[in-house]
Amino acid sequence: GESVGLHLPTLSVQEGDNSIINCAYSNSASDYFIWYKQESGKGPQFIIDIRSNMDKRQGQRVTVLLNKTVKHLSLQIAATQPGDSAVYFCAEKMNYGGSQGNLIFGKGTKLSVKP
Amino acid sequence: DVKVTQSSRYLVKRTGEKVFLECVQDMDHENMFWYRQDPGLGLRLIYFSYDVKMKEKGDIPEGYSVSREKKERFSLILESASTNQTSMYLCASSFGSVGQPQHFGDGTRLSIL
């Protein structure tokens, strides 16, 4: 909820600009990545995912880029709107036995959109 | 749309009480998860379940137990609530196949007095 955004890196953008949110993931064995959006008082909402055999995937106004060489994931939001204000965090799934669906979550970035 | 429903949005309990948090999903997902979310610590996995009557410990299972008697329902139990269990609790579910996202409920903010 409202306390989720405390102590997080913050990105402040002007309405209409593009936003880029970055995430460094931890394990080169990870094979699946997800971006979530969490608004105040709500649970995390799935935005977009990407598998490790891809380096780019596009959704509606969002693009995820994966750079496996440097273990970096980014979320690009086109024409950012006030409704995009939220905490965004990435999650990775490592590809080894016993972790069929378990994810490792990043701490998140707070996106603030100025009207 | 996937619907994950947590029974309470806010809950206040007293130290030593046994607390039940309920979660129901309507997408026939095999996997279900319980997390707690605290400022500065992010999401931490408490317990998860891959099938009915199956459970696995996550990263912080101490002080908690779970029950999965039906596929759609996953309960988190605080055996004897303590103040350090005051937190936001999030339930999630996903299909069992590889590369499927978890879908979350809106959370239960639990306060232990």
* Chain A residues inside the 8 Å CB shell of B54: none
Residues of B with CB under 8 A from a CB of A: 4, 31, 33, 37, 39-40, 42-43, 45, 48, 50, 58, 88, 90, 94, 96, 98-107, 109
Specify the length of chain A in residues: 115
Span A80-101, pLDDT tens digits = 999 999 999 999 987 655 545 5
Span A58-84, pLDDT tens digits = 999 999 999 999 999 999 999 999 999
* Chain B residues inside the 8 Å CB shell of A89: 42-43
Print burial letters for A39-67: b (CB count within 10 Å at least 16), e (below 16).
beeebbebbbbbebeeeeeeeeebbbbbe
Q: Which residue has the higher pLDDT, B29 or A102?
A: B29
Which pLDDT does position B99 carry in this prediction? 78
A3 pLDDT more than 60: no
Positions in chain B short of pLDDT 70: none
Structural domains of chain B sorted by starting position, each given as residue range(s) with its CATH number in brackets:
4-112 (2.60.40.10)
Structural domains of chain A sorted by starting position, each given as residue range(s) with its CATH number in brackets:
2-114 (2.60.40.10)
Span B5-26, pLDDT tens digits = 999 999 999 999 999 999 999 9
Which pLDDT does position B102 carry in this prediction? 93
Span A18-29, pLDDT tens digits = 999 999 988 888
Which residue from B40, B48, B107 is facing A43, i.e. has the nearest CB? Answer: B107
